[in-house]
Amino acid sequence: MPPEPLPIQPASMAFSDLLAATIHDMKNSLGLVLSGLEEIDKPARSDTRLQSLRFEAGRLNRQLIQLLAFYKMSQSRLTAHIEEHDVHELLVESLLQARTILEAASLEAEVVADESLAWALDRELISGVLAGAVFNAARHARARLLLHAETHAGRLHLLVNDDGPGFPERLLRADGRGEGSIDFRTGSTGLGLSFAAMIAALHRHGDACGTVTLGNGGPLGGACFTLVLP
């Protein structure tokens, strides 16, 4: 007589771990969706509906990655792998990650940086932060975007600037935190800015750590997202 099947016991897993595992699976599925959209879109680059779908899927994928990063940080499992990298290449790479929305919106993007400039940073993390800033800027820019790098007082300043209307005063008054609120009109939760600030803070040199600041103006007159690394 065959043995009775044993009932499957629920896994002893904290809700945060369960949520992280679910997000990871969702991220993988979205990756497949994005890959499929890329193939479908190749013969029809001018189809704005497909471009919009790719953008929204990419935005959701980035948000899931950010949530996973927050989870890893809460578990003390997120660390920065600091190595010296070419800053100009980093900015170009960040633009390429946002190529879809830049092409769909017919935006002109420019990189201004000394091609000999190198800095110690985590390339993957910083590239992700800059790409997120470019995506956000592209949603509000009229025609132009600028990525600019320069050093000042021993720190690297990475600027993402657009020619749009700029950040709302509410956001600037709250130093980018959005006063902990959710904007249901735009769908903004402040997750991207919190992620950027978290990644910046992982970059330390002595007592100094990286920061993120928001402002309006800059060379193009619109929103200015600035990532400062020691």
Residue type (1 letter), 203: H
Q: What percent of the chain has pLDDT over 70?
A: 65
Please give the structure tokens belonging to residue 38: 């890329």
Indicate the domain borders of the chain: 15-74, 83-229
pLDDT of residue 93: 92
pLDDT(180) > 90: no
**Per-residue model confidence as pLDDT tens digits over 54-65:** 666 766 777 777
Question: Residue 188: helix, strand or coil by DSSP?
Answer: strand
Q: Which residues of 46-58 are buried (b: 16+ CB within 10 A; e: fewer)?
A: eeeebbebbbebb
Could you tell me which residues come within 8 angstroms of residue 195 by beta carbon, excluding any fewer than 6 positions away? 66, 69, 70, 129, 132
| Residue pair 214/172 in contact by the 8 Å Cβ criterion | yes
Q: Which CATH superfamily is domain 83-229 in?
A: Histidine kinase-like ATPase, C-terminal domain (3.30.565.10)
User: Average pLDDT over the chain, rounded to whole?
Assistant: 79
The pLDDT of residue 216 is 95
